[in-house]
Structure 1
Amino acid sequence: MRETRRILLAGAVVEVERQGEELVADDGRRVKIADAQHLPPVMPTKIICVHLNHVSRVKEFQIKLSATPTYFHKPISSLNSHRGEVVRPKRCKWLNYEGEVAIVIGGRCRNVSPQEAGDYIRGYTVANDFGLHDFRDTDAGSMLRVKGSDTLCPLGPGLVEGWDFRNKYLRTYVNGQLKQDGNTAEMTWDMHYLVADIARTITLEPGDVLLSGTPANSRPVQPGDLVEVEVEGLGRLSNTIVEGPEPIRDDVGAQPSESEEVLSTAQGGDWEFRGIRPPKKPGA
């Protein structure tokens, strides 16, 4: 396997190759991983995400999975990197992590079969598909602000080529405590299927990213929390949650809310489907 990363080196964006605990540029310059300033490992033209894929996540919500995948889009302005700060805006409370595997396209891909799709995949990286569920009631299901707000798509640390996605663990930690413990074996649709499905009508360009879904136990995090996603063979993506410098404006647009859907999705319950509300916290 080969791992490349994008970093800032002497003020310039440089693609480097990982060699042990060092990153090596084509001109021979070396920097220790611990000292590197990381950037997203790729610069896509689009980021496409599957709604539900891991069986544990479907069971958690006690819903019936659709016969075929459904998707949403994260704008490229949501991109973030390894060790980047993830912003929870003021006046928002329900920011959730979602550890995932990201597929990175290597060649222009259009109208291919699942059997051919692997030839168009350059490699894979770790992703955290953060969701700002305070806006769950807006945007008519597109989740544009829930999933597309600035900083909510960390990728990294690197892009790994030659990685076999089958039967690999996927784990998310918050402040060192294990929160998600999944495996790619529980995905309903594998990486090749997802690429072929999207490429039927949407041309995928080199560098484009597809997020392949998260396992159960996505939960809210708070400013100051360290969130790390580790995928077997791909490495560990680390990000710190910070509070945004400005509050969500209250003079325009839909406002952050705490509806039944917001609470049930953020806290991993099935209340919205059973028609009951979550239990109140002691003293509430």
Structure 2
Amino acid sequence: MSEFRRVLLDGADVQVTVDGDELVAGDGRRVKIEDARHLPPVVPSKVIAVHLNHRSRVDEFQIGLPTTPTYFHKPTSALNSHKGAIVRPEGCKWLNYEGEVAIVIGRTARNIAPAEAGQYIAGYTIANDYGLHDFRDTDAGSMLRVKGSDTLCPLGPGVVTDWDFHGKALRTYVNGKVVQDGSTDEMTWDMHYLVADIARTITLYPGDVLLSGTPANSRPVQPGDVVEVEVEGLGRLTNHIVVGPTPVRADVGAQPTESEEVLSTALGGDWEFRGIRPPRR
């Protein structure tokens, strides 16, 4: 296995490889990992995410899976990086983490079989598919603002090649406490299936990213929280939560809501009927 990252080095966007506790550029320049200013490790033309895949999350919501996966699109303007700030807009309350494995495409893929899909994957990285559920009532169909608002798609720290996705632990931490604890083995559809399914009608280009789903216990985070996603063999993606400097404009569009749908999704199911009250803000 090898790992490459993208960092801002002396003012330039540079691809580097990992060498111990240092990152090495193609021209030989080195920077300590802890000192590096990370960028998203790839520049995709699109980011596609599966709605539900991990069985623990399906069980948590006590719902049935469709017979085949369904997807949504995250705009590339949502991209963020290792150690980047996740912005919760002023006036919003329900920002949830979702630790995931991200698939990175290495070759143009179109109309391929699942058995061939591994040949089109460059490697894997970590994602946190944040959801701004304040907009769930208006965007539940598209997930555009829920999952696509600025900063809500951090990737990194790097892309690991030749990683075997079977039987790998996936954990999310908030302020050092484990809040999600899952495994790639609980995925209903594996990485190769997801790539082949999307590529039936959508051409995937090198650098494109597919998010493979999150385990149970996605919950809201607050400004000041530090959120980390750790995947066995891929490292740890770290971000912190901040409040945006201005509120969501009130003179246009749907406004943030706190309906039962919003609260139920943010808090992991029918909280009202399980005797769980939403946290006070």
- Counterpart of 2:98 in structure 1 is 98
- Report how far residue 270 of structure 1 moved: 3.2
- Report how far residue 283 of structure 1 moved: 9.0
- Counterpart of 1:206 in structure 2 is 206
Say yes or no: does 1:135 pair with 2:135: yes
SS at match of 2:266: helix
SS at match of 2:137: coil
Q: Distance in 1 between matches of 2:270 and 2:239?
A: 28
CA contact (8 A) 1:108 1:204 kept: yes
Kindly provide the amino acid, as one letter, of the partner of residue 65 in structure 1: L
Matches of residues 105-254 of structure 1 in structure 2 within 5 Å? 105-139=105-139, 141-254=141-254
CA distance 1:93–1:282, change in 2 (3 Å)? closer
Q: Distance in 1 between matches of 2:151 and 2:204?
A: 23
TM-score (norm 2): 0.97
Q: Distance in 1 between matches of 2:27 and 2:277?
A: 60
1:280 paired residue among 274, 277, 281 = 277
| Structure 2 unaligned blocks of 5 or more | none
Kindly provide the amino acid, as one letter, of the partner of residue 258 in structure 1: E
CA contact (8 A) 1:62 1:270 kept: no
Kindly provide the amino acid, as one letter, of the partner of residue 14 in structure 1: V
Q: Distance in 2 between matches of 1:85 and 1:283?
A: 24
CA contact (8 A) 2:122 2:161 kept: yes
Q: Distance in 2 between matches of 1:92 and 1:168?
A: 34
Matches of residues 41-120 of structure 1 in structure 2 within 5 Å? 41-120=41-120
SS at match of 1:265: helix
Q: Distance in 2 between matches of 1:282 and 1:76?
A: 32
CA contact (8 A) 1:264 1:278 kept: no
Q: Distance in 2 between matches of 1:173 and 1:120?
A: 31
Seq. identity, %: 76
TM-score (norm 1): 0.96
Spell out, residue by residue over 1:17-46, the C-alpha distance to the aligned partner (whole angstroms, 9 max, x if none): 001100001111000000000000000000
Q: Distance in 1 between matches of 2:280 and 2:265?
A: 23
SS at match of 2:127: strand
Q: Distance in 2 between matches of 1:279 and 1:33?
A: 42
- Report how far residue 269 of structure 1 moved: 1.5
CA distance 1:257–1:31, change in 2 (3 Å)? same
CA RMSD in angstroms comes to 1.5
- For these two proteins, the number of residue pairs brought into alignment is 281
